Structure 1
Amino acid sequence: MNHITEIRTVGVPVRDQDRALEFYTGTLGFEVQLDVPLPQFGGRWIVVAPAGSGQGRASIALVPESEDNPAGVDTGIRMASPDAKAAHRHFLDTGIDTGELLEWPGTPPMFSLRDPDGNRLYISEL
């Protein structure tokens, strides 16, 4: 029997949840799916996802950093865009820490960017 059926939420450690929430919603255009106090966790349980993706789809939890879970990591999270070149230009123009646009034969255009805490995320074309 398969007890695991999907990947739901990936935690990204952040130093300031309010600043991170502004970046993920204001800059990346994500929607808040959940934002509740969680004092035993040292902050709130904040879950964001791409606009229109709906509940139950892959999401990101903006979790308070800790000694065992520091901010500023390569998250390994790959997100998709219908136009990676336009997204790359947009993030560069808005001053986001954005890596080089990679265009290799046989692969979709892709690039990386960093959130305000230095967490690396990736965007590739659909």
Structure 2
Amino acid sequence: MNHFTGIRTVGVPVTDQDRAVTFYTETLGLELLMDAPLPQFGGRWIVVAPADAATSIALVPASEENPAGVDTGIRLSSPDAPAAHKHFLAAGIDTGELLEWPGVPPMFSLRDQDGNRLYVSQE
């Protein structure tokens, strides 16, 4: 029996949720889907995602057990990865080299203010 139908949300630990919301919405252009108080969690339950995406990112409070500054493994898709790479470099975002290999979509990595690594690849 298959108990799962998809991947809904991936958590990214952040040290400052307000700063993270600004980065993920204003800098990366994701939409804020939810921002609810969750004191028992040590902060808020904040969810962001690209428009109409099936999977979202929860910006969760970092802790000793869940520290910030991780390789999230998250791959964001872009219709034009080289243009996105150029944009983030110009904006001063910690952006890795644009990788362009034969037969593989262009891709690069970037980091948020906590050093969490995300990846961008062309659709």
The interval holding the TM-score normalised by the smaller chain is over 0.9
Question: RMSD between aligned alpha carbons?
Answer: 0.7
Q: 2:77 corresponds to which letter in structure 1?
A: A
Secondary structure of 2:87 counterpart: helix
Partner of 1:16: 16
Q: State the shift of 1:110 in Å.
A: 0.2
Partner of 1:92: 89
Q: State the shift of 1:71 in Å.
A: 0.1
Secondary structure of 1:86 counterpart: helix
Provide Cα deviations, 1:25-84, integer angstroms capped at 9, x if missing partner: 00010111110000000000000001x216xx1000000001110000000000100000
Partner of 1:47: 47
CA–CA distance in structure 2, aligned partners of residues 53 and 19 of structure 1: 23
Query: What runs of 5+ residues in structure 1 fail to find an aligned partner?
Result: none
Per the normalisation by structure 1, the TM-score is 0.96
Q: State the shift of 1:7 in Å.
A: 0.2
4+ aligned runs moved over 3 Å, structure 1:
none
Partner of 2:70: 73
Secondary structure of 1:68 counterpart: coil
Percent of matched pairs sharing the same residue: 76
Q: 2:9 corresponds to which letter in structure 1?
A: T
Q: Is 1:58 the counterpart of 2:55 in the alignment?
A: yes
CA–CA distance in structure 2, aligned partners of residues 2 and 77 of structure 1: 24
Query: What runs of 5+ residues in structure 2 fail to find an aligned partner?
Result: none
CA–CA distance in structure 2, aligned partners of residues 88 and 82 of structure 1: 12
CA–CA distance in structure 1, aligned partners of residues 14 and 59 of structure 2: 6
Secondary structure of 1:122 counterpart: strand
Q: Is 1:118 the counterpart of 2:83 in the alignment?
A: no
CA–CA distance in structure 2, aligned partners of residues 26 and 6 of structure 1: 27
CA–CA distance in structure 2, aligned partners of residues 47 and 112 of structure 1: 21
CA–CA distance in structure 1, aligned partners of residues 79 and 111 of structure 2: 20
Equivalent residue pairs, number: 123
